[in-house]
Structure 1
């Protein structure tokens, strides 16, 4: 019996063959081209494993406004950039593995060396065998060729955008001779910045039992990066960087979805979980978030969005005292003037809970004696909202008070003795 062949059969067979047979293009692809696919497969497996081991929500231990979120991470923190005030946090001071968040200190040291002139953007950095990435998907790399040279500014981009372990090791060896030598620079800088729960062993964040940092310390470091390296901070917002013919995207998902976000750094190892430090500026307020050890890339992005949304929705800027206001006139002993005006030395803005009134308390130094220089600190002002301290600022002398002459000073001594 003859059967009539449907014209659709060849198409169906072709589709089936395409499903069952490996794609020939994948066999022909170069190792470099194959890496993203391998990376995606590894990432999907990690996501599946991590989803099972998601942490329970961690409630805020400190919060300056109501209804702070609970987030499924080992530690989290929200900081006001201008004042450094922690607006909400949980487990902020536990020393945890920071993974590639470590590279914020690496990049910060490079930026400070560029600012001071110790490094130039065009200086060449040699890639040693120790620094060289062997092309596996087990670590993040800039893919610097072995024994090649790259400029410092390209190395800096490779650290910040591509999270390159090779770039971090290469600049460490260039600046300090070895990773261990560079770690000493990192720890010295950590001490200078007041990072009290941090110890660095390497410039990459690759696992080591002694390599730790805390959410609070990482927020302080992020604030220093923004404040001290303004000319280089825009690098943290760049979404991609191409080097050695390989283009890689920034792993900070918020850069693609929130135009107010302009940094800073992601991190991940099996031990550290998924980590993210973010900075966002909306109108006149900048906030910094830290998420440590959550269960997926999506989770770290979502939790950062949640913190930022709560922060910008719950707080506002306030000016407790105008810059030109005189808030007190403390007595000055043995001066050509009996008193001096006290006021702010610089404009002072606070981030406070929305709708709450700010109260101020003035504390002036007792027993001031001439001479008093203009701008000398002679007290402080403390601001509170809802009974909680939200910030303080120094009060300075608004004018110079010269020391009185010998005769006048003698008379002033007499008046002081008789209580006048």
Structure 2
């Protein structure tokens, strides 16, 4: 049985009526070949364009190197003030090769120096030195990168090196980059602020001291993450911004200039903040309805939502939102408290349906003997064993 459920959402429904005349949010388009706009609090995808096609991520792949380093620090395996000596091999391989931190052979630097060299200066050399320090070699560290990608569900990513230098088969997807960015925000709240640092000077190499992220200082609330560029991949960015407690993550790839990268990342974020809002609908354990019980010691059983339900929606989606619950009516006793007995579904245009399990709020035993006969007789005459269904709170 499917029941339209609006009682709990009466206030929302009344508000929706007043919003129906408001113009729909603009249909977004972007010249980026790949793009994802993600609401961090709900995981809702607000915009996407070819999000699952793998492409060369260039320096955006350094986010995975940083993730492994942050993880090691969080777990106590490495400290920010640990000292690292730059090996001759790392210097030979990456001296002035692409973006650099200008490390010299036998330099002694801290892990914090190397992380800022990666995050702020995009140093290919810093990635190699950190990888050697953590894993003993770049090759072993690459194996770690690929293992972590599998663990994080980044199914469209494959790493061939530690810094995103062009290599056959070194690829990521926009969706994987968005999810990785969100992990960096959520998993390492004490370390993530490094991504907001706009300047870092290693020794006196003033030719490379500023963060290349075009969002920092230009888009209100921006605090990360990483740019990328090669001839093959074009210009890309994985970025994030937080306003009034609401965080959005944006990924763009395949743009033809740094100006386009700056413009499109800001435009997508602005689109997300202006046209979408966060709507908490239910809290875990809240009663959303009551179901009739067949041959049970109680006439009805409360249906509780299993998990919090909050959705990020545009005004248009909110105006056309449809909430329904589905369960077998009546539910046959015995019923165990906490057992799944139904599903709540939220549908809206242009989005996949969002569902949550409904579970029994009480244990209800099955009646026997004469009680079973009486309950069946009352149900046939009156329904719900002759008892009135409680009103939802």
Provide TM-score, normalisation by structure 2: 0.77
Q: Does structure 2 retain, via aligned residues, the 8 Å contact 1:350–1:390?
A: no
1:294 is aligned, of 255, 259, 269, to 255
1:186 paired with 2:149, answer no
- What CA distance in whole angstroms lies between the structure 1 residues aligned with 2:248 and 2:283? 23
> Is 2:314 the counterpart of 1:318?
no
Whole-angstrom distance in 1 between the partners of 2:323 and 2:125: 51
Q: Is the 8 A contact 2:95 2:102 kept in 1?
A: no
1:5-404 paired onto structure 2 within 5 Å: 66-132=25-91, 138-247=97-206, 248-322=209-283, 325-329=286-290, 341-344=302-305, 347-354=308-315, 356-357=318-319, 358-363=321-326, 372=337, 380-386=343-349, 388-389=351-352, 391-395=354-358, 401=363
Deviates more, 1:258-267 or 1:66-75: 66-75
Instruction: Tell me which moved more, 165-174 or 202-211.
Output: 165-174
Q: Following the alignment from structure 1 to structure 2, what is the Cα–Cα distance between the partners of residues 298 and 154?
A: 29
Q: 1 CA distance for matches of 2:152 and 2:215?
A: 27
Task: Say which SS state the counterpart of residue 130 (structure 1) adopts.
Answer: helix
Between 379-388 and 277-286, report the one with greater CA deviation: 379-388
Match of 2:9 in 1: none
Structure 1 residue 208 displacement after superposition: 0.7
Q: Is the contact made by 1:332 and 1:369 (CA closer than 8 Å) also made in structure 2?
A: no
8 Å Cα contact 1:273/1:292 also seen in 2: yes
Larger CA Rg, structure 1 vs 2: 1
Closer/same/farther in 2, CA of residues 270 and 319 from structure 1, 3 Å limit? same
Give 5+ residue unaligned stretches, structure 1. 1-64
CA-based RMSD of the aligned residues comes to: 3.3
379-388 or 160-169: bigger deviation: 379-388
Rate the CA distance shift 1:145–1:138 in 2: closer, same or farther, 3 A. Answer: closer
State the alpha-carbon separation in 1 of the partners of residues 257 and 370 from structure 2. 72
Aligned partners of 1:82, 1:228: CA distance in 2, in Å? 14
**Count of paired positions:** 349
Gaps of 5+ in 2: 1-23, 380-393
How many Å apart are 1:343 and its aligned residue?
A: 3.2
**Alpha-carbon contact 1:201-1:210 (below 8 Å) kept:** yes
